[in-house]
C-alpha cells in the first residue's frame, strides 16, 4: 500500500513519465510545473510577434510549440493588448515596443542581446521581449521559455542579457565519410551524400538547440582536414546547411587544409608567400562567399600531428594565417588558427612548445585572425593548469577551445559534467596585468580590448537518437553554450537549469542530480589522473589506462614521458631543475605550484617529480595518497550509482535504465583504472596496497594485454 501511494505521489509531483529517447534534449516543453502553471496561464494568454523574417518565424514557431506543451493549450496570436499578452519584436518593428523600453536597457542588450520586461500597458499585464535585432528576439524567446521550463516566476521581470563573447562555436571533428574523430555518439549528423537536396529535420533541430543556448557558429568539418570539403560539390552542400541554420543566427565555418592549393588546386606549392597560392585562396574564398554570403571563415590546424602548414615552407604560423585572412577579409570572414602544435623534432617538454612558437608572433597576426588555444598546455586532460599562452599574447585575440567530446574524460560511458572544469580554467588568474587578469577576461577580450573574441567546444554530437550518446553528455553541450554567452554563470546554475529542463523541476531530483553532476568531474580525476597525473591513457583510441606504454615512435606520445615513474618517485619536474615550463607563467600565477612541499596537490605530479614517501598535507606518504585517491574515486562512483537509483520514480524508464547501465560500466572502468594504475606504479614504489584499500582483481599483465581494436572515435 505504502509503495502504491508513493508511486502516485511520484507521478503527481513529476507529471508525465512517458518514455523519452532524449532527442528533445533541454527543449522538451512538457507540462509546466504544478507550482507555477496557474500563474503562467494567467500571464500568457496571447502572443504577438512583430517582424517578418525567417528568424522571427522561428521565434513564433518556438513560442507556440513550447507554450502548447507547457500550458496544455494553444495560445492564440493577437493584435490587441490584453491581460496576459506576450509581445516580442525589435524596437524598429513596433512602436509599442520602442515606447516601452528605455534607451539604456536597449543599449545594454547590444546587437545580439535582449530585454524581457513585465509591463502594465493600458492597464493590462504584459510581458515584452525586446531586442535590437531579430536574432536578439529569438534569444529572448528562448530565455523566456527557459524561465518557464525551470519554473521561475514571471510576474515582475526585468532581465537584460547580452553575450559576453562574440564567437560562440561548436567545432565538429566530423569527417566527410561520416566518421567522427573522438566521437562517441554514432556517426556524423552531416549526411554529405544526400546534401544538398535532402535537408534532414535534424539540421533544423540542431540549429534550434544551439540557438536556445546562444551558440552562433559551427565548424562543420574535422581540423584534421580534407581538402575535398572545399570543392564545389561540397560547398553546395555546405551552403544548404548554412541556409538551414541562418534563421537561427548560426554561421557555418570550415576547416581549411593548408595544402589544398596542391591537392585540389593543381598548384605545385602551398607556400603562403607564393602569389599563385595567395590568389588561389582568394578565389576560393570568393567562390565560397558567392554561395554563402555570410560564411564565417576557416579554422586551421597547421604543422601539428602531421598536418601540413606554413612551416613546411619555412614560413611562420602568422604568414600562413595572414594569407588566409587576406582571402576572407573582403567578405568580413575570420581565421581561427589553432595553437595546438608540438613537433616531433623538438625534444623540449611538449607543455612548452606552443608558447615558444606563438609568443614571438604576438602582434604579427592580421586583424581578422584569432589564435585558438586549448584550455590546457597538453591536451584536454582530466585536469590541467591553464594554458600559459593565456595572458602572454596581449596583441592577439585568443579564442578558447574546450573539448565537449569526452576523449580523455570517460568517452561515451562516463557521467562527467565538465562545466566545473571549464570554470576552473576560466577563473584561473594569469596575472598578465596584475591580479584579476583571469583567463575569462583574456578570452572575452576585456583584458586587452579585443572586440573579436570567441569560445569553442569540440562537439560531442553524433547521429545517436539522443545526439550525445550518454544522456548526461548533453549537459556539456548545454554548458558550452551557456558559458560562452555568460562565463560568469556558475557550474551549479547551469546544472540546475539543465536538470530542470532535461528531467523535471521536482526538488529532490534537482538536488540529487546536481550533486551527481557537480561532483562527477573530481571523481573522474580521482580514479583516472589523481594528483596531477596526465596522459596515461591507452594508445590510439585513448580508452582506458595504459601508463606502461613506452614504445611509440614519438617520445611525447608515450605515457611514460608524462608520469616519469622510477624507483625514486613519480611526476614531471617542470620547475627550474626540470623542463622549467613553469617559467612560462607569471611568477604570481605559479605561487601555488612552485614548491613541491607546498604545491596545490591537485597539480603536484604535473609540476614535480617527488619521492614515493613524499609527505602530503594530510601527513600520508605520496604512495598512500595515490592509493587513497584511486580508491576514493571508485567509491564515489558507487555513491553516484546509489543516488541515481533513488531517482527511479522521478525519471522515465528509458533514460533511467540507460543511465543505470552506463553507471555500472563507469564503475567497472573506474575499478580498471584504479587497479591497472596502482599495479603498474607499484612496480616502482615497491610498496604494498595496504588495507583498507582494495586489492586489484587481476595481475598487471592481464591489464597490459587488453586490446580494443574497434574502440570508437579513433
Ligand atoms: O586530442 C588530440 C586528439 C586528436 C585531435 C588533436 C587535435 C583532431 O587525440 O584526435 O585531432 O588532439 O586537437 O588536433
DSSP one-letter code for 534: -
C-alpha cell at 30: 512538457
DSSP code for 434: B
Q: What is the DSSP string of 658-709?
A: HHHHHHHHHHHHHHHHHHHHHHHHHHHH-----TTSPPPSS-HHHHHT---T
- Name which of 242, 249, 243 is nearest 113 in CA terms: 249
Pick the CATH number of 526-572+609-704 from 2.40.50.140, 3.90.1330.10, 3.90.650.10, 2.40.160.20: 3.90.1330.10
Three cell numbers, residue 402: 574546450
b/e code 18-39 from CB counts within 10 Å (16+ = b): eebebebbbbbbbebbeebbee
Positive/negative CA dihedral, 415, 418, 420, 421? positive
| Dist. CA 665–CA 346, nearest whole Å | 39
> Order of strands, edge to edge, in the sheet holding 124-131?
46-49, 85-90, 124-131, 114-121, 158-161
Residue 155 burial by Cβ neighbours in a 10 Å radius (0-12, 13-18, 19+): exposed
* pLDDT at 344 (0 to 100): 72
Q: Provide mean pLDDT across the span 374-402.
A: 98
pLDDT at 346: 84
Between strands 398-403 and 369-374, the pairing is parallel
Using the mean position of ligand 1's atoms as its centre, give its distance from the Cα of residue 407 in Å: 9
Atom of ligand 1 nearest to the CA of 301: 14
Counted residue by residue, the chain has a size of 714
Contact of 184 with 405, CB cutoff 8 Å: yes
Cell numbers placing 454:
570567441
Helix (H, G, I), strand (E, B) or coil at 159: strand
Mutate to test the pocket of ligand 1, among 305, 336, 384, 712 (most ligand atoms within 8 A of CB): 305
pLDDT for 4 beyond 70: no
pLDDT above 60 (res 8): no
Distance in Å, CA 181 to ligand 1 centroid: 8
Ligand 1 pocket (Cβ < 6 Å) reads 173, 181-182, 223-224, 301, 305, 340, 379-380, 407
**pLDDT of amino acid 16:** 53
pLDDT in tens, 161-201: 999 999 999 999 999 999 999 999 999 999 999 999 999 99
Please name every residue paired with 268 in a beta bridge, in sequence order, or none if there are none.
none
Distances (CA, A) of 558 to 182, 222, 244, 581: 19, 24, 44, 19
Going by the DSSP 8-state scheme, the letter that residue 91 receives in this structure is G
To the nearest 10°, report the CA torsion of 176, 180, 185, 189: -20
9 pLDDT higher than 80: no
Burial state string for 469-497 with b = 16 or more CB within 10 A and e = fewer than 16: bbbbbbbbbbbbbbbbbbbebebeebbbb
Rounded distance between C-alpha atoms, residue 674 and residue 447, angstroms: 42
- Ligand 1 binding pocket mutation candidate from 171, 180, 181, 353 (most atoms within 8 A of CB): 181
Whether the per-residue pLDDT at 675 is higher than 50: the answer is yes
Going from N- to C-terminal start, the domains of the chain cover 32-161, 167-502, 526-572+609-704
> What is the CA angle 645-646-652, rounded to 5?
75
Distance CA 54, CA 62 (A): 12
Residues 169 and 455 sit within 8 Å (Cβ to Cβ): yes
Torsional sign, CA 59, 63, 69, 74:
negative
Residues annotated as catalytic are 305, 379, 407
Torsion angles phi and psi, residue 70, rounded to 5? -75, -40
Helix/strand/coil for 84 = coil
Q: What is the mean pLDDT of the chain?
A: 96
Whether omega for the bond prior to residue 151 falls within 30 degrees of 0, making it cis, is no
> Closest ligand 1 atom to the C-alpha of 307?
14
**Which residues are CB-neighbours of 604 under 8 A, at least 6 positions away?**
531, 532, 571, 596, 610, 622
Task: Grade residue 218 by pLDDT with cuts at 50, 70 and 90.
Answer: very high
* One-character DSSP codes across 490-502: -HHHHHHHHHHHH
| Least reliable range by pLDDT among 82-91, 259-268, 550-559, 613-622 | 550-559
CA proximity to 622, closest of 692, 533, 558: 533
Question: What is the per-residue pLDDT for 644?
Answer: 98
17: CA distance to ligand 1 center in Å? 40
Residue 17: per-residue pLDDT: 86
Give the residue, by CA position, lying nearest to ligand 1 atom 13. Answer: 340
Span 339-350, average pLDDT: 88
Average pLDDT over residues 386-393: 98
Phi, psi of 129 (to 5 degrees): -120, 110
10 has pLDDT over 50: no
Q: Residue 531 pLDDT more than 70?
A: yes
CA-closest residue to ligand 1 atom 1: 379
Give the model's pLDDT for residue 12.
Answer: 43
The alpha carbon of 496 and the centre of ligand 1 are apart by a number of angstroms equal to 31
Q: Which fold has domain 167-502?
A: TIM Barrel (3.20.20)
The average pLDDT across 201-217 equals 99
Question: Of all residues in the chain, what percent carry a pLDDT higher than 70?
Answer: 98
Task: Report the pLDDT value the prediction gives residue 550, as an integer from 0 to 100.
Answer: 97
- Determine the atom of ligand 1 nearest the C-alpha atom of 379: 1
Q: Alpha helix locations (H) across 273-330?
A: 275-291, 317-328
In the chain, what percentage of residues exceed pLDDT 90? 96
pLDDT in tens, 403-455: 999 999 999 999 999 999 999 999 999 999 999 999 999 999 999 999 999 99
Which of 379, 406, 411, 466 has the alpha carbon at shortest distance from 669?
411
Ligand 1: residue of 340, 406, 456 to mutate (most ligand atoms within 8 A of CB) is 340
- Report the alpha-carbon distance of residue 513 to residue 498 in Å, rounded: 10
Choose which CATH entry (3.40.50.360, 3.40.1050.10, 3.90.190.20, 3.30.379.10) describes domain 32-161: 3.30.379.10
Q: How far is the CA of 271 from the centre of ligand 1 (A)?
A: 24
Q: What is the pLDDT of residue 309?
A: 97
Q: Does the structure show a pLDDT above 60 at 2?
A: no
The region that residue 167 occupies, defined by phi over 0 for left and psi between -120 and 50 for alpha, beta otherwise, is beta
Amino acid at each position: 500500500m505504502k509503495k502504491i501511494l508513493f508511486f502516485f505521489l511520484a507521478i503527481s509531483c513529476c507529471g508525465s513519465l512517458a518514455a523519452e529517447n532524449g532527442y528533445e534534449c533541454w527543449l522538451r516543453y512538457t507540462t509546466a510545473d504544478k507550482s507555477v502553471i496557474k500563474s503562467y496561464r494567467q500571464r500568457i494568454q496571447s502572443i504577438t510577434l512583430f517582424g517578418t523574417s525567417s528568424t522571427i518565424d522561428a521565434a513564433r514557431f518556438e513560442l507556440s510549440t513550447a507554450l502548447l506543451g507547457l500550458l496544455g493549450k494553444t495560445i492564440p496570436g493577437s493584435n490587441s493588448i490584453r491581460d496576459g499578452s506576450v509581445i516580442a519584436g525589435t524596437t524598429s518593428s513596433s512602436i509599442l515596443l520602442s515606447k516601452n523600453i528605455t534607451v539604456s536597457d536597449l543599449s545594454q542588450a547590444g546587437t545580439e542581446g535582449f530585454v524581457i520586461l513585465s509591463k502594465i500597458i493600458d492597464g493590462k499585464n504584459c510581458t515584452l521581449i525586446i531586442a535590437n535585432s531579430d536574432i536578439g528576439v529569438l534569444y529572448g524567446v528562448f530565455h523566456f521559455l527557459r524561465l518557464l521550463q525551470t519554473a521561475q516566476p514571471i510576474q515582475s521581470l526585468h532581465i537584460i542579457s547580452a553575450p559576453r563573447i562574440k564567437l560562440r562555436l561548436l567545432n565538429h571533428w566530423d569527417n566527410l565519410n561520416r566518421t567522427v574523430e573522438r566521437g562517441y555518439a554514432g556517426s556524423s549528423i552531416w549526411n554529405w551524400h544526400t546534401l544538398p537536396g535532402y535537408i534532414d529535420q535534424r539540421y533544423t533541430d540542431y540549429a534550434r538547440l544551439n540557438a536556445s543556448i546562444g551558440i552562433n557558429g559551427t565548424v562543420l568539418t574535422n581540423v584534421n582536414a580534407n581538402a575535398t570539403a572545399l570543392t564545389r560539390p561540397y560547398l553546395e552542400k555546405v551552403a544548404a546547411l548554412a541556409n538551414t541554420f541562418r534563421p537561427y543566427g548560426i554561421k557555418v565555418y570550415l576547416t581549411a587544409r593548408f595544402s589544398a592549393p596542391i591537392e585540389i588546386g593543381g598548384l605545385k606549392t602551398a607556400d603562403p608567400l607564393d602569389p599563385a597560392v595567395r590568389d588561389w585562396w582568394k578565389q576560393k574564398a570568393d567562390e565560397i562567399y558567392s554561395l554563402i554570403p555570410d560564411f564565417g571563415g576557416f579554422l586551421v590546424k597547421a604543422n601539428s600531428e602531421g598536418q601540413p602548414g606554413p612551416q613546411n615552407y619555412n614560413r611562420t604560423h602568422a604568414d600562413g594565417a595572414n594569407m588566409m585572412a587576406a582571402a576572407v577579409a573582403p567578405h568580413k570572414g575570420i581565421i581561427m588558427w589553432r595553437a595546438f602544435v608540438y613537433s616531433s623534432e623538438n625534444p623540449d617538454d611538449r607543455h612548452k612548445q606552443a608558447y615558444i612558437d606563438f609568443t614571438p608572433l604576438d602582434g604579427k597576426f592580421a586583424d581578422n585572425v584569432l589564435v585558438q588555444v586549448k584550455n590546457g598546455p597538453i591536451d584536454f586532460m582530466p585536469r590541467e593548469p591553464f594554458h600559459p599562452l593565456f595572458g602572454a599574447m596581449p596583441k592577439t585575440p585568443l579564442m578558447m577551445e574546450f573539448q565537449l567530446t569526452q576523449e580523455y574524460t570517460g568517452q561515451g560511458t562516463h557521467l562527467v559534467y565538465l562545466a566545473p572544469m571549464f570554470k576552473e580554467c576560466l577563473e584561473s588568474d594569469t596575472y598578465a596585468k596584475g591580479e584579476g587578469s583571469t583567463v575569462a577576461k583574456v578570452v572575452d577580450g576585456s583584458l586587452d580590448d579585443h572586440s573579436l573574441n570567441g569560445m569553442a567546444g569540440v562537439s560531442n554530437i553524433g547521429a545517436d537518437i539522443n545526439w550525445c550518446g550518454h544522456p548526461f553528455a548533453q549537459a556539456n553541450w548545454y554548458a558550452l553554450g551557456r558559458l560562452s554567452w555568460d562565463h560568469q554563470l556558475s557550474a551549479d546554475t547551469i546544472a540546475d537549469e539543465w536538470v530542470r529542463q532535461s528531467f523535471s523541476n521536482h526538488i529532490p531530483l534537482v538536488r540529487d542530480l546536481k550533486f551527481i553532476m557537480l561532483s562527477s568531474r573530481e571523481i573522474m580525476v580521482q580514479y583516472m589522473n589523481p594528483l596531477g597525473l596526465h596522459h596515461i591513457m591507452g594508445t590510439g583510441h585513448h580508452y582506458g589506462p595504459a601508463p606502461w606504454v613506452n614504445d611509440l615512435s614519438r617520445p611525447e606520445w608515450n605515457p611514460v614521458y608524462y608520469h616519469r615513474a622510477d624507483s625514486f618517485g613519480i611526476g614531471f619536474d617542470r620547475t627550474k631543475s626540470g623542463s622549467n615550463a613553469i617559467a612560462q607563467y607569471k611568477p604570481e600565477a605559479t605561487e601555488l605550484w612552485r614548491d613541491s612541499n607546498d604545491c596545490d596537490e591537485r597539480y603536484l605530479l604535473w609540476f614535480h617529480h617527488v619521492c614515493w614517501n613524499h609527505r602530503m598535507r594530510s601527513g600520508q606518504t605520496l604512495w598512500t595518497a595515490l592509493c587513497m585517491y584511486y580508491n576514493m574515486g571508485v567509491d564515489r562512483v558507487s555513491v553516484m550509482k546509489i543516488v541515481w537509483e533513488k531517482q527511479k520514480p522521478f525519471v522515465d524508464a528509458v533514460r533511467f535504465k540507460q543511465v543505470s547501465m552506463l553507471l555500472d560500466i563507469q564503475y567497472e572502468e573506474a575499478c580498471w583504472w584504479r587497479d591497472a594504475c596502482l599495479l603498474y606504479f607499484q612496480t616502482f614504489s615497491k610498496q604494498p596496497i595496504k588495507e583498507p584499500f582494495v586489492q586489484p582483481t587481476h595481475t598487471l599483465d592481464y591489464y597490459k594485454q587488453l586490446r580494443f581494436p574497434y574502440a570508437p572515435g579513433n
